[in-house]
Homo-oligomer: A and B are copies of this chain.
Amino acid sequence: MTIRSNSDRRVTPGLTLVATLVATASLLLIPAPTVAGNDAGKPSYNEAGALILPQGYREWIYVGAPLTPNDMNGGKAEFPEFHSVYINPQGYQGYKNTGTFPDGTIMLKELVSVGAKKATSGSGYFMGDYVAVAVSVKDSKQFPDEPGHWGFFSFGNHPNLTPTAEPLPTASCNGCHEASADEDWVFTQYYPVLRAAKPE
């Protein structure tokens, strides 16, 4: 195909259309954060209904990093690691727009060991290595009987995360989240990113 020269007036409407459509495509594609290889973080399930391990979650939206180290819990912390907590892009966009977590919201907690307690900047806690991944998903179709329609999952430990996970029993996680999380089973009280994103 030969592209006509600018002096050929017949091509002008076509180029205008091209420019308009390219500009429109750009506008449509730019606003939402995209996640490589993960369909924007939408939850997906296998045929047996198990949740498939989300991909690309380290490029999702980080919401906060609670820490309950062993040395502050008599050596027996339930989760002695940093919790790097993420929300999937579609959940974040929905929350920013409406102030509520939409169906399809995924909260993902990646546990990271305490790697150091002293650095140039002082004494404290500094991240080490990845330990484990756990996930909660809000999905009224998939979890019609779970309180709040939140399902909870563990994908085990690095480097042997499981490719899929069955929902955990309601008593394992849901109850504590229901009782203690500030908003819709999510600990927004510890997640400044979400509090700041919530519309007035």
Residues of A at the B interface (CB closer than 8 Å) are: 1, 3, 11, 13-14, 16-18, 21-22, 25-26, 29-36, 58-59, 61-62, 64-69, 72-73, 77-79, 82, 84, 86, 92, 112, 115-116, 119-130, 176, 179-180, 187, 189-193, 196-197
Contacts of A112 in B (CB 8 A): 64, 192
Residues A119 and B64 in contact, CB atoms below 8 Å apart? no
Contacts of A196 in B (CB 8 A): 58, 130
Chain A at the B interface: mostly helix, strand, loop or mixed?
mixed
Picked from B21, B25, B68, B124, the residue with its CB within 8 Å of the CB of A68 is B124
Residues B123 and A73 in contact, CB atoms below 8 Å apart? yes
Inter-chain CA distance A86–B66, complex, in Å, is 17
Picked from B18, B73, B82, B126, the residue with its CB within 8 Å of the CB of A122 is B73
A89 to chain B, nearest CB (A): 8
Inter-chain CA distance A30–B16, complex, in Å, is 23
Contacts of A68 in B (CB 8 A): 119, 121-124
A93 to chain B, nearest CB (A): 9
